[in-house]
Amino acid sequence: MAGAPVSATLLALATPAAESALPCRSDTRGPTRDVTTDNARLPTLEDVARLAGVSRATVSRVINGIRNVNPELHEVVWSAVNATGYVANRAARSLVTRRTGTIALVVSDSESHDDDPFMSRFFSDPFFGRVVGGLMSALRPAGIQLALQLVGADQARGQLVGDLRQGQADGSVVLSLHPGDTLPQLLADAGLAGVVIGRPARPVPISHVDVANDRGAALAADHLVARGRRRIGMITGPIDVPASVDRSSGFRAAMARHGQLFVPSVTGNFTYDSGDRGMRELLAEYPDLDGVFVANDLMAQGGLGALHELGRRVPDEIAVVGFDDSSAALAARPQLTTVRQPLEDMAAEAARMLMALIDEPRRETTAVVFEPTLVVRSSS
């Protein structure tokens, strides 16, 4: 039951060559479609009502679970529904209810243009999948669909807001890839139901879920100290990213509590390379460090690579703690001790908050902050 290999079920080898597609076989036996399917009008409420010998309204009541329906009729109606194989037409229903039963997952990337490959890099990061999984876990029981929306250029944002208002979705969960994204503000201004994952850089009157980045960093600090490390440094993330700022300040504060008032640090940009570079810089200036907190796993992995090449043994000579518990943490050698944020839970909570907001639009905006946990592996 170790990490199962879902991807492998279907795969093969990569292709820079864009259009290497070659139609191959075409198994066709007879007409592709079942004739009955194409023509036969799907059963409507009317059909069910006729079969059950009641009116449309009654059937509607039964289906929507509204009281005031005689139990016997209830029975009759349901058996008619089953007999006809009736499924409510979503479009017709939402035309009148003004609800779509859909929420949008909006991935907003203000810096990239519409067809930027950046998006694909984002999608291949487990982060995205974990969020989707968390959302689905909350949405599915409620019978709500999840629709994906990508917005890149600013021009697309206005359109998105328009689409959102006009029945594309009842609300949206926003995933901003960059600090200072304008979308949360736009949604707030338009009065649309929305929940942001991750605290917006600037305060925006919109609900969000987040993780306590500062406390997560403190966890890392406590751990390093508990491991007996006394000369501890840090590689931070970009200074304009809220999460990054919180991690740095949380770490420094925790170290101060442990009596280390100065934390040698360098600034990275969350990439593997910047972690590699950052670690080398840090050690060049402070060669006797015996512990390093790195603000995300990818940089930590890079740092680990640098340490390996520098001949420093991890964790014996120097301990490393990352942040995120991404796949990079497992991929790193040695495997990375890291701070994990409960992304699935956060996403699920975001979905629940959004549903509540949709049901009761005047609800106050709220923020829910989750507690991170420390995952101890071999790097510390």
Partner DNA sequence: AACGTTTCGGAGAGCGCTCTCCAAGGGAGT
Partner DNA sequence: ACTCCCTTGGAGAGCGCTCTCCGAAACGTT
Q: In the complex, what is the shortest distance from the CB of residue 106 to DNA, in angstroms, rounded to a whole number?
A: 22
Look at residue 197 and give the partner it binds from DNA, its own copies, none, a contact being a CB closer than 5 to 8 Å depending on partner kind.
Answer: its own copies
Residue 70 or 97 with smaller CB distance to its own copies? 97
Residues 45-64 touching its own copies, rule: CB under 8 A, are none
- Applying CB under 7 A, the span of 44-52, 103-111, 120-128, 218-226 interacting with DNA comes to 44-52
Q: Is residue 185 near its own copies by the rule CB under 8 A? A: no
Q: Is residue 311 near its own copies by the rule CB under 8 A? A: no
332-350 as b/e: b if 16+ CB within 10 A: beeebbbbbbbbbbbbbbb
Q: In the complex, what is the shortest distance from the CB of residue 224 to DNA, in angstroms, rounded to a whole number?
A: 57
| SS3 assignment, position 209 | strand
Count CB neighbours of 8 within 10 A. Answer: 8
What are the structure tokens assigned to 333, written together?
Answer: 């050698």
Look at residue 261 and give the partner it binds from DNA, its own copies, none, a contact being a CB closer than 5 to 8 Å depending on partner kind.
Answer: none
Look at residue 69 and give the partner it binds from its own copies, DNA, none, a contact being a CB closer than 5 to 8 Å depending on partner kind.
Answer: DNA
Task: Check residue 170 and report its DSSP letter.
Answer: S
Q: Is residue 4 near DNA by the rule CB under 7 A? A: no
Binder of its own copies out of 46, 90, 256, 359 (CB under 8 A): 90
Q: How far apart are CA 281 and CA 367, in angstroms?
A: 38
Closest CA to 307 of 281, 279, 282, 265: 279
DSSP of 225-276: HHTT--SEEEEE--TT-HHHHHHHHHHHHHHHHTT-----EEE--SSHHHHH
- 251 CB-contact burial (10 Å; exposed 0-12 / middle 13-18 / buried 19+): buried
CB 286 within 8 A of CB 313: no
Residue 10 or 87 with smaller CB distance to DNA? 87
Residue 291 or 342 with smaller CB distance to its own copies? 342
Q: In the complex, what is the shortest distance from the CB of residue 53 to DNA, in angstroms, rounded to a whole number?
A: 7
- Segment holding 83, helix H or strand E: helix 71-84
Binder of DNA out of 83, 95, 284, 376 (CB under 7 A): 95
- Applying CB under 7 A, the span of 67-75, 135-143, 209-217, 274-282 interacting with DNA comes to 67-75
Look at residue 259 and give the partner it binds from its own copies, DNA, none, a contact being a CB closer than 5 to 8 Å depending on partner kind.
Answer: none
Look at residue 64 and give the partner it binds from its own copies, DNA, none, a contact being a CB closer than 5 to 8 Å depending on partner kind.
Answer: DNA
Residue 3 or 71 with smaller CB distance to its own copies? 3
What are the structure tokens assigned to 92, written together?
Answer: 């017709």
Binder of DNA out of 50, 78, 84, 93 (CB under 7 A): 93
Binder of DNA out of 51, 58, 108, 236 (CB under 7 A): 58
| SS3 assignment, position 168 | helix
Residue 10 or 40 with smaller CB distance to DNA? 40
Q: How far apart are CA 139 and CA 146, in angstroms?
A: 8
Q: Is residue 89 near DNA by the rule CB under 7 A? A: yes
- Applying CB under 8 A, the span of 46-54, 58-66, 255-263, 270-278 interacting with its own copies comes to 270-278
Residues 6+ apart with CB under 8 A from 210: 197, 198, 199, 346, 367, 368, 369, 370
Binder of its own copies out of 63, 167, 280, 281 (CB under 8 A): 167
Q: Is residue 226 near its own copies by the rule CB under 8 A? A: no
CB 195 within 8 A of CB 203: no
Residues 274-293 touching its own copies, rule: CB under 8 A, are none
- Applying CB under 7 A, the span of 40-48, 133-141, 262-270, 368-376 interacting with DNA comes to 40-48
Cα 159 from chain centroid (whole Å): 23
- In residues, how long is the chain? 380
Residues 316-375 touching its own copies, rule: CB under 8 A, are 323-328, 330-333, 338-345, 349, 361-375
Residue 69 or 156 with smaller CB distance to its own copies? 156
CB 235 within 8 A of CB 268: yes
